[in-house]
């Protein structure tokens, strides 16, 4: 993980085995720690409305992404599904000659939540 500190952040630098290691921020954030975190949970919080939360759910983990701006998901293949079975098997993205997205057509499987 790489993080670039902002001007004014307090950064701790230590030398470990002839290698410098920096940790930050030691400056207190302007937002509150989520009160719903439990043992084994992780939360990367960037502002009041933006976080990536990983929570233990029995023997597995749930991942929640919340953003104050736009959430971008990019890749050659994007699989949206449940229990390893895709619910949307393909997204047909149509673009104009300038490369702007004009339409997104999902291709669904026969599986639904009710089944």
Q: What is the pLDDT of residue 98?
A: 92
In a domain? residue 26: no
Given the DSSP bridges, would you call strands 42-47 and 12-16 parallel, antiparallel or unpaired?
unpaired
Percent of the chain scoring above 90 in pLDDT: 6
The least confident of 38-42, 67-71, 79-83 is 79-83
* pTM attached to this predicted model: 0.52
In a domain? residue 1: no
Q: Which residue has the tokens 């992780």?
A: 42
Tell me the per-residue pLDDT of 24-62, one tens digit each, with 9 for 90 and over. 766 667 777 777 888 888 888 888 888 899 988 888 888
From CA 8, how far away is CA 53, in angstroms rounded? 26
In a domain? residue 8: no
For residues 71-75, average pLDDT: 81
Provide the domain count of the chain.
1
Q: Which of 22, 18, 52, 20 is nearest to 34 (CA)?
A: 52
Range of the domain at 79: 73-115
In a domain? residue 9: no
In a domain? residue 95: yes
In a domain? residue 65: no
């Amino acid at each position: 993980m790489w993080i670039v500190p902002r001007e004014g952040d307090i950064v701790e630098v230590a030398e470990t085995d002839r290698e410098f290691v920096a940790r930050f921020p030691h400056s207190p954030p302007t937002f509150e720690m989520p009160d719903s975190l439990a043992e084994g949970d992780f939360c990367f919080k960037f502002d009041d409305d933006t976080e990536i939360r990983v929570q233990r759910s029995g023997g597995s983990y749930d991942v929640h992404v919340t953003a104050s701006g736009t959430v971008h998901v990019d890749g050659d293949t994007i699989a949206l599904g449940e229990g390893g079975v895709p619910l949307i098997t393909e997204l047909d993205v149509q673009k104009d000659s300038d490369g702007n997205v004009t339409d997104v057509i999902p291709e669904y499987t026969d599986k639904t939540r009710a089944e």
